[in-house]
């Protein structure tokens, strides 16, 4: 039947495959209305200064509270949303929601520097003609400070059409937002890309972080080489997937200043993230000299 053909390469067909296929069809249909039905949630993972351990920013990550399947991770639905185009609506929802939430934290926890917010942009979103205008409108509506917003893009979003990609990235920079290259080292980026595109930072993929092994010199030399290259290109570096104290100390010794990972915190729901901000505020207050008031 046409239904089976439209699945692409399925040649053999057994009941388990049918289950998987049925699930895909169901998710594909259900995700269209997930945003409108209020089923999307955001969790926030702290971005941390590796030397001081303080949270300077956060990455918004989407979850789908499915009515029957429970809380779904992006691995279950981002690719489907990307393929069907629903990612565009999801992305718009994510950006608005994250800007509104983080603005409330800016008000509640005013620091020297407001928390910076990172939002992921998928290739399909990135290629939309109205992307920049849509982001500009959201920034205007929410009054979120563009300097505190970063977009994370993977190399896949860029390599199809270099000239168009550069134009879009330049237009995003014009809005005043930051641009981070996500999952660095796993894709196709060349030095030409890094040199000619207006990125502010690159995120070392967690593959390189997880392979950091104190007994294996080459693993840290590789990360060291990425850091030197970033330095030459004037890019900040954020390490992803820091899970152990040994990862943290090795990265810190190599001169990597920023990172995120389960060692510090998993992605947190808004209440838990707020609790973390309160705790950090309290410990910062305690570390001030006792008589600083009198000065
Ligand atoms: P990503 O942007 O590279 O996000 C990092 C992923 O690594 C997140 O998975 C995060 O939970 C996970 N992670 C963080 N620290 C650790 C660690 O120490 N160890 C391990 N093993 N994993 C860690 P998550 O939330 O499942 O998201 C997966 C991917 O889905 C993201 O990868 C991103 O590409 C995509 N994604 C998530 N939210 C959005 C969104 O709102 N829009 C778009 N377009 N894509 C999103
Ligand atoms: Mg990311
Ligand atoms: Mg990443
Ligand atoms: Mg990733």
pLDDT at 289: 64
pLDDT at 4: 47
Looking at the CA of residue 87, tell me the nearest atom of ligand 1. 44
Of 40, 50, 55, 78, the residue with max ligand 1 atoms within 8 A of its CB, to mutate for a pocket test, comes to: 78
Rounded to the nearest whole angstrom, what is the distance from the C-alpha of residue 211 to the centroid of ligand 2?
A: 19
pLDDT tops 60 at residue 1: no
Nearest Cα to 151, choosing from 128, 117, 125, 184?
Answer: 117
Residue 218 binned pLDDT confidence (cut-offs 50, 70, 90): confident
Of 211, 240, 268, the residue with max ligand 1 atoms within 8 A of its CB, to mutate for a pocket test, comes to: 240
Q: Which residues does a 6 A CB cutoff place in the pocket of ligand 1? A: 45, 61-62, 73-75, 78, 87, 91, 94, 120-122, 152, 182-183, 206, 240-243, 260-262, 267
As a whole number of angstroms, the distance between CA 115 and CA 277 comes to: 10
Lowest average pLDDT, out of 3-17, 52-66, 76-90, 276-290, goes to 3-17
Nearest CA, atom 19, ligand 1: 241
Mean pLDDT, the chain, whole residue set: 91
Q: Report, as an integer, the average pLDDT of 34-54.
A: 95
Looking at the CA of residue 182, tell me the nearest atom of ligand 1. 3
Q: Which ligand is nearest to the CA of 151?
A: 2
Nearest CA, atom 12, ligand 1: 241
Lowest average pLDDT, out of 55-59, 111-115, 203-207, goes to 111-115
pLDDT at 192: 83
pLDDT tops 80 at residue 290: no
As a whole number of angstroms, the distance between CA 152 and CA 135 comes to: 14
pLDDT at 217: 81
Do residues 258 and 236 make contact, with C-beta atoms less than 8 angstroms apart?
A: yes
Rounded to the nearest whole angstrom, what is the distance from the C-alpha of residue 205 to the centroid of ligand 4?
A: 7
Q: How many helices (H) and strands (E) does the chain have?
A: 12, 9
Question: Could you report the per-residue pLDDT of 229-252, keeping only the tens digit for each?
Answer: 999 999 999 999 999 999 999 999
Looking at the CA of residue 73, tell me the nearest atom of ligand 1. 26
As a whole number of angstroms, the distance between CA 238 and CA 184 comes to: 10
Rounded to the nearest whole angstrom, what is the distance from the C-alpha of residue 183 to the centroid of ligand 2?
A: 7
As a whole number of angstroms, the distance between CA 283 and CA 45 comes to: 20
pLDDT at 294: 47
Q: Report, as an integer, the average pLDDT of 27-51.
A: 95
Question: Could you report the per-residue pLDDT of 55-82, keeping only the tens digit for each?
Answer: 999 999 999 999 999 999 999 999 999 9
pLDDT tops 60 at residue 295: no
pLDDT above 90 coverage of the chain, percent: 76
As a whole number of angstroms, the distance between CA 131 and CA 65 comes to: 26
pLDDT tops 50 at residue 36: yes
As a whole number of angstroms, the distance between CA 128 and CA 180 comes to: 19
Q: Which ligand is nearest to the CA of 180?
A: 2
Rounded to the nearest whole angstrom, what is the distance from the C-alpha of residue 172 to the centroid of ligand 2?
A: 17
pLDDT tops 80 at residue 159: no
Question: Could you report the per-residue pLDDT of 170-190, keeping only the tens digit for each?
Answer: 999 999 999 999 999 887 777
As a whole number of angstroms, the distance between CA 58 and CA 53 comes to: 13
């Amino acid at each position: 039947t046409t239904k089976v053909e439209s699945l692409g390469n399925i040649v053999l067909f057994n009941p388990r495959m049918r289950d998987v296929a049925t699930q895909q069809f169901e998710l594909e249909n259900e995700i269209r209305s997930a945003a409108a039905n209020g089923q999307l949630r955001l969790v926030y993972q702290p971005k941390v200064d590796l030397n001081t351990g303080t949270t300077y920013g956060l990455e918004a990550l989407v979850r789908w509270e499915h009515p029957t399947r429970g809380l779904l991770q992006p691995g279950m639905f981002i690719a489907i949303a990307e393929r069907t185009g629903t990612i565009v609506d999801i992305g718009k929802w994510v950006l608005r929601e994250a800007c509104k939430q983080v603005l409330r934290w800016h008000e509640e926890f005013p620091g020297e520097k407001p928390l910076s917010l990172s939002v992921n942009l998928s290739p399909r979103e990135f290629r939309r003609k109205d992307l920049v205008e849509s982001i500009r409108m959201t920034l205007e509506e929410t009054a979120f400070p563009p300097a505190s917003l970063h977009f994370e893009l993977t190399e896949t979003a860029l390599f199809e059409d270099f000239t168009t990609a550069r134009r879009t990235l330049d237009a995003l920079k014009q809005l005043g937002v930051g641009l981070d290259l996500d999952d660095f080292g796993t894709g196709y980026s060349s030095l030409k890309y890094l040199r000619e595109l207006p990125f502010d930072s690159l995120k070392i993929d967690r593959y390189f972080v997880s392979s950091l092994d104190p007994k294996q010199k080459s693993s840290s030399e590789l990360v060291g080489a990425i850091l030197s290259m970033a330095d030459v290109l004037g890019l900040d570096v954020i390490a992803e997937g820091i899970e152990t104290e040994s990862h943290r100390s090795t990265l810190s010794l190599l001169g990597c200043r920023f990172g995120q990972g389960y060692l510090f915190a998993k992605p947190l729901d808004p209440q838990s993230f707020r609790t973390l901000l309160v705790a950090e505020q309290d410990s910062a207050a305690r570390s001030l000299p006792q008589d600083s008031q009198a000065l």
